[in-house]
Structure 1
Amino acid sequence: MTNCVTFYYTDGCHLCDDAIKLLEQLKLTYQKVDIIEQDRLVTLYATTIPVVENASGSTLNWPFSLQQLQQFTS
């Protein structure tokens, strides 16, 4: 079973919608964090969202495929 991942996104991001579909295809548990709520996150991820962070703190920036996401979260 895969650990919960953190999903960094913002409202109105169509790429984020695409990434959610991939997360759901893999039946991953994820916590959504809107980057707009923290200046630090906007600075880090404004041009790279959607971003997935695993339990070890590693991140996977968009674009990523279903296979890349699966490997990242395994």
Structure 2
Amino acid sequence: MSANLTLYQRDDCHLCDLALEVLAAVRAPEFDSVFIDGDDALEQRYGIRVPVLRDERRGTELDWPFDVGTLRKWLA
């Protein structure tokens, strides 16, 4: 069974590293990491938005920037 959350990110992305720190601070549930580099469709959809956290179950997305409070509220 895959995670309900997906973090779309890029290689060597400082903002993505910050998003991972926020996810760790919140103790977010398990999530999949998808690197968009080299995937034309994902680059078109998320290219300038990464990092983006997507709730696959609800079909909602949380764009960066987000902090601990914002992420907790979004996950609730």
Q: TM-score, normalised by structure 2?
A: 0.86
Q: How many residues are paired up? A: 72
Unpaired runs of at least 5, structure 2: none
Aligned to 2:16: 16
Q: d(CA) in 2 for partners of 1:47 and 1:14? A: 13
Spell out the pairing of 1:21-36 with structure 2 (5 A cutoff). Answer: 21-28=21-28, 29-36=30-37
Q: d(CA) in 2 for partners of 1:27 and 1:50? A: 17
Match of 1:62 among 42, 61, 64: 64
Q: d(CA) in 1 for partners of 2:9 and 2:40? A: 13
| CA distances 1:23-74 after superposition (whole Å, capped 9, x unpaired) | 1111111110001142111001111100000121100111111111111111
